[in-house]
Amino acid sequence: MKQTYLIELSLLTALVVFCIFRTLRSRKQIARSVLFVLCSIVIPLLGNIIIAASEDPVICNAGYMLFLLGTNFVLYTLLDFSLQYCSFPPMKRGLWMAVTAILTADSVSVFLNNFYMHCYTLEETLLESGEIYYILKSGPGHYIHLALSAVFLLAIAGNFIWKMTRSAALYLERYAVIFLSIVFVGAWEFYIVLLDRTIDRSMIGLAVGGILLYFFAIEYRPVFLKRALHELLVSNLSDAVFFFDADGVAIYANTAAASLFGIDSRNLADSAKILGEKITGSAFIKNGMRVEKDFRTQVEVGEGDGRKYYDVTCRRMEDKRGNYLGTFFGIQDDTILEKESRESLFRQTHDQLTGMINRDVFIDRVNQKIAQKTGEQYVMILSDIADFKIINEIYGRDTADRILCDIADSIRQVAHEGSVYCRWGADQFAAFAKRGVITPELLEEEIRACFRPDESGSRIRYPVVIHAGFYEVTENELPVAAMVDRCQLAIAMVHDDYQRIVYVYDDELRQKRLWEQRVNTELPGALASGQIFPYLQPQYSSSNALTGAEVLVRWQHPEEGFLAPYRFIPIFEKNGMIAKVDLHIWEEACRILASWKGTERERLHLSVNISPKDFYFLDLYETFTELVEKYGLDPASLHLEVTETVVMNDAVENIRVINRLRDYGFVVEMDDFGSGYSSFNLLRDMPVDVLKIDMAFLGKTSHPEKAEMILNNIIELAHQLNLISIAEGVELEDQLRMLKEMGCNIFQGYYFAKPMPLEDFEKLAA
Ligand code: C2E
Ligand code: CA
Ligand code: CA
């Protein structure tokens, strides 16, 4: 009998030790507490083994000691376990000390039994098998020990009960299994007491309880909890989830799926159809919702404000052996996020005011079109509002904005399919279209139509003038911004022209502009390095004597070669830089005159040209007087050629300057007389000494006799006004003879000589 019990105990001990090793390897947080419980159970187990194995009363007593003291350890570790398992906050230090004190006191009391016998005495009993067994006869100390154990067990069970009543039904299982293990131990003890057998088998309950505790706390995964959690997770997921089995039958759809697609989750029959139509396309339905590969895609459903954006994940489900199980669909409603990101993208890529795409996006799209290399030819158009700043000031910002929006609307209305357009800048809109669909004439008509009120009266109602630059794209490689620049260039050619609207860019125009820019930037260097210098064209008297020369500027350009004045003078006259050229040439002329002093050539004069702009930019009186003083010249040797424009610009002031120069001793010549709008009245007001008549213009007339008469009269008049007359542009002997007969004084022209370098002239005048 004792033997059977011994075997039972040994087996249980081995099992507990096995559990200890398993627990040691567990990574769970609770493992430590479980380990303590299991280790503490080993002590009373050993005690019981000693009791069962020995027939010596002293050894048996030691076994009982171990048993009783061990149970105290078990109670202690079990309490600690229960607190941890239920995730209670750690017990107050004081309370732990009290618990420890009580258990220690009980243990001391058990130990003192060796002296006072107040707990138990051992009674030798003869078992039916004939073996001797020492049973424990309880004294008051032992009853206290038992009561203490009961209180502890109740407290521990209480912890679990409390936890179970507070926890969600979902977690009940977790606590219930441990609670039931403790109940089992209690029930076993009770059963043993009731049974009242000679051999006390209570230890078996305790050991089994410990093993159960180990199993539930360390090994067991609450199946129900896991499944319930998964179910809960999936059904509460904001993503819609569908599952189709291998035959394409919908077997699961979560709450989100049902509400998102209006499916009754109890009747999933239509799911495939609805899902196929709304999201994934019919290909899946035909294929029994079967997919060959996992995929993820973005889907848009619906129109306008009700448009929805879904992120669809589709997964082919297979078992471990690769058998097809079905298809899983996870569908996330990205509408809010997508709309937000689309809005922010819109803000980044569009003009806030007109809603048109901005410059960067326009450039991208045009480049894309060109990159397609369809062989198509294109045009670039740029519209520009004249004096937009003034419109802003006069009508206010709101109205100006309104105008911009009106223009944008008009562009949208007339834009041809496939064309790209944008708000290019403040008051400029750019459009890129196929050549042929829009011509400058059509564009002009369309822009004019924008200002004619239509039935709804929604056309542009303000007096704005729009100009447009039109560029037929000849070089597709050109950067888009450069294409627009060309339109801008075409518009820039318009100055105060309120009649035409569309200006077509042509390459000549561009070359001209480029040349202008180049010449402007290169002028300072050219002046400093001597690329700009004078040529002299001789002048002769009626007796064929050399009287002097006109000084004409030339530019020896390092790359462009020898430049005649028409290549650069008009450009510099436009922006006033002519003054720099003239100052340089005048100084050169003075230097030449100075070098002639004391030679044969001292009697020759030099005529220099004065541009109308010089009157504006320079103090001519000061300039010329300083020059002749600097070079010690007779002012009469320097002739100043002015044109009639000078008196038309600022008559009073300019005439004053001319008079002062004449008073100082300079000879002033009226250049190009007869070429412009010259009137004889001009001669009355203009204080000059010489009249210079251009033959070239007389030669062009279809009535040579009349021209001759006029010429004759001019020369006559000059004489009467005491002016010297010079004819320039004399090319033919007949011309010369006629001019001589008319009484002209001086002659200049290719008949005598072309303008020439200084050295050549000096040889001529040796
Ligand atoms: P301009 O003052 O009327 O100068 C006379 C122009 O007629 C010169 O042209 C000269 O080469 C050209 N010419 C002379 N004889 C004949 C001829 O028999 N037949 C023809 N067809 N042409 C003849 P160029 O040198 O090209 O100068 C053109 C214009 O440039 C000048 O016209 C003048 O207005 C301006 N210019 C030249 N040098 C200067 C300068 O230093 N300063 C300023 N401000 N203007 C200058
Ligand atoms: Ca001249
Ligand atoms: Ca002239």
Residue among 564, 554, 561 nearest 533 (CA) = 554
Q: Which ligand is in closest contact with the Cα of 755?
A: 1
Neighbours of ion ligand 3 (CB under 5 A): 671-672
The side-by-side arrangement of strands in the sheet containing 502-504 is 420-425, 428-434, 378-385, 466-472, 502-504
Centroid of ligand 1 to alpha carbon of 663 (angstroms): 27
Centroid of ligand 3 to alpha carbon of 718 (angstroms): 17
Helix (H, G, I), strand (E, B) or coil at 266: coil
Whether this prediction's pTM lies above 0.75 is answered by no
Ligand 1 atom 43: the closest Cα is on which residue?
Answer: 609
pLDDT of residue 83: 92
Q: Does the beta carbon of 611 sit less than 6 angstroms from any atom of ligand 1?
A: yes
Q: How many residues would you count in the chain?
A: 766
Render pLDDT for 348-378 as a digit per residue (tens, 0 to 9): 999 999 999 999 999 999 999 999 888 889 9
Query: What would you report as the CA-atom Rg of the chain, rounded to the nearest whole angstrom?
Result: 58
Centroid of ligand 1 to alpha carbon of 552 (angstroms): 6
Q: In a mutational test of the pocket of ligand 1, which residue from 527, 572, 609, 736 has the highest number of ligand atoms less than 8 Å from its CB?
A: 609
Q: Give the whole-angstrom CA distance, residue 451 versus residue 346.
A: 30
Ligand 1 atom 25: the closest Cα is on which residue?
Answer: 552
Render pLDDT for 693-728 as a digit per residue (tens, 0 to 9): 988 766 667 788 888 888 899 999 899 999 999 999
Q: Give the whole-angstrom CA distance, residue 92 versus residue 219.
A: 30
Q: Does the beta carbon of 573 sit less than 6 angstroms from any atom of ligand 1?
A: no
**Buried b / exposed e across 356-372, counting CB within 10 Å, b at 16+?**
bbbbebbbebbeebbee
Q: For the purposes of burial, counting CB atoms within 10 Å of the CB of 712, is it exposed (0-12), middle (13-18) or buried (19 or more)?
A: middle
pLDDT of residue 15: 96
Q: Give the whole-angstrom CA distance, residue 627 versus residue 583.
A: 10
pLDDT of residue 696: 73
751 phi and psi, to 5 degrees? -55, -35
Q: Does the beta carbon of 578 sit less than 6 angstroms from any atom of ligand 1?
A: yes
Q: Does the beta carbon of 609 sit less than 6 angstroms from any atom of ligand 1?
A: yes
- Residues of the chain with pLDDT below 50 are none
pLDDT of residue 252: 84
Ligand 1: nearest atom to the Cα of 614: 44
Q: Which ligand is in closest contact with the Cα of 607?
A: 2
Ligand 1: nearest atom to the Cα of 534: 41
Q: Which ligand is in closest contact with the Cα of 694?
A: 3
CA 250 to mean position of chain CA atoms: 44
CA 677 to mean position of chain CA atoms: 60
The DSSP letter of residue 438 is B
pLDDT of residue 698: 66
Ligand 1 atom 17: the closest Cα is on which residue?
Answer: 729
Q: For the purposes of burial, counting CB atoms within 10 Å of the CB of 565, is it exposed (0-12), middle (13-18) or buried (19 or more)?
A: middle
Q: Give the whole-angstrom CA distance, residue 675 versus residue 658.
A: 21
pLDDT of residue 685: 77
pLDDT of residue 214: 95
Q: Does the beta carbon of 749 sit less than 6 angstroms from any atom of ligand 1?
A: yes
CA 598 to mean position of chain CA atoms: 77
Residue pair 498/463 in contact (Cβ under 8 Å)? The answer is no
Centroid of ligand 3 to alpha carbon of 717 (angstroms): 19
pLDDT of residue 119: 93
Q: For the purposes of burial, counting CB atoms within 10 Å of the CB of 527, is it exposed (0-12), middle (13-18) or buried (19 or more)?
A: middle
Q: Does the beta carbon of 607 sit less than 6 angstroms from any atom of ligand 1?
A: no
The DSSP letter of residue 435 is B
Residue pair 429/351 in contact (Cβ under 8 Å)? The answer is no
Q: Does the beta carbon of 696 sit less than 6 angstroms from any atom of ligand 1?
A: yes
